[in-house]
Amino acid sequence: MTADLFEAVPDVRPSREALADGAVLLRGFAKPFENEVIAALHEIIAQAPFRRMFTSGGHQMSVAMTNCGNAGWVTDHSGYRYDGIDPNSGQPWPAMPGVFCQVAEQAAAAGGFEGFAPDACLINRYAPGARMSLHQDKDELDFTAPIVSVSLGLPAIFLFGGPKRADKPNRYRLEHDDVVVWGGPSRLFFHGVAPLADGEHAVMGRQRINLTFRKAR
Ligand code: SIN
Ligand code: FE2
């Protein structure tokens, strides 16, 4: 009877799931990097705090954002772009920490994309209720490089569609340490995040943080 207590509980979630041709969900992939990633994240947000940006149409996004790396994704009244300078501070974005490059490069390789060297990491913070509507990541110059997305904190429903906005998206639950990689045939597929359900995460508290790595330039 006591022996049963020590038997591993089987994880019912498969460790990898194909979302589309070129797209894969790697469950728990960021676990070995987690502590270092979170420590580096704290340093980044001390230099470049989260802010809720405005779209060119004048709507304030529900997701708060910041960036690290040589290029940061920004949106304002003039539209979307990558910019080397944080418009709030007038300074360059914080450098991409080594551990960020490592997790992104290794996840990309596990997804079939060897040699991924991101120059931009968009950091999204979702409070309960925050969402991201369906969109394509198409502001980058080089579509041969994949997108690598690392989830931390509260679980979210990730919507992954197809090449057309009207393609009905499938829904995937992304948990702490899960990584999604999409590139090649699905590089420009529409994706988004459903409104975040409220909760309290043991490590991250009442929020979800997502790191999306890109080769922007
Ligand atoms: C994004 O598409 O930039 C974010 C996706 C996510 O938060 O999982
Ligand atoms: Fe995106």
State the 10-residue block means of pLDDT for the chain, 217 residues long.
56 88 98 98 98 96 98 96 98 98 98 98 98 97 96 98 98 98 98 98 98 98
pLDDT of residue 14: 80
From ligand 1's centre to the CA of 5, what distance in Å? 39
Residue nearest to ligand 1 atom 2, measured at CA: 192
pLDDT of residue 6: 59
pLDDT of residue 7: 61
Residue 191, ligand 1, Cβ within 6 A: yes
Whether 7 maps to a domain, the answer reads no
**CATH code, domain carrying 23:** 2.60.120.590
**For residue 170, which of 185, 155, 190, 143 has the smallest C-alpha distance?**
190
Q: Could you give the number of structural domains in the chain?
A: 1
**Could you tell me the sign of the dihedral formed by the alpha carbons of 179, 180, 182, 188, in that order?**
negative
CA of 63, closest atom in ligand 1: 7
Whether 6 maps to a domain, the answer reads no
Whether 111 maps to a domain, the answer reads yes
Question: Whole-model pTM?
Answer: 0.94
Residue 210, ligand 1, Cβ within 6 A: yes
From ligand 1's centre to the CA of 174, what distance in Å? 11
**For residue 51, which of 118, 139, 123 has the smallest C-alpha distance?**
123
pLDDT of residue 1: 46
What is the domain range of residue 59? 15-214
Find all residues with CB under 8 Å of 2, minimum gap 6, and list them: none
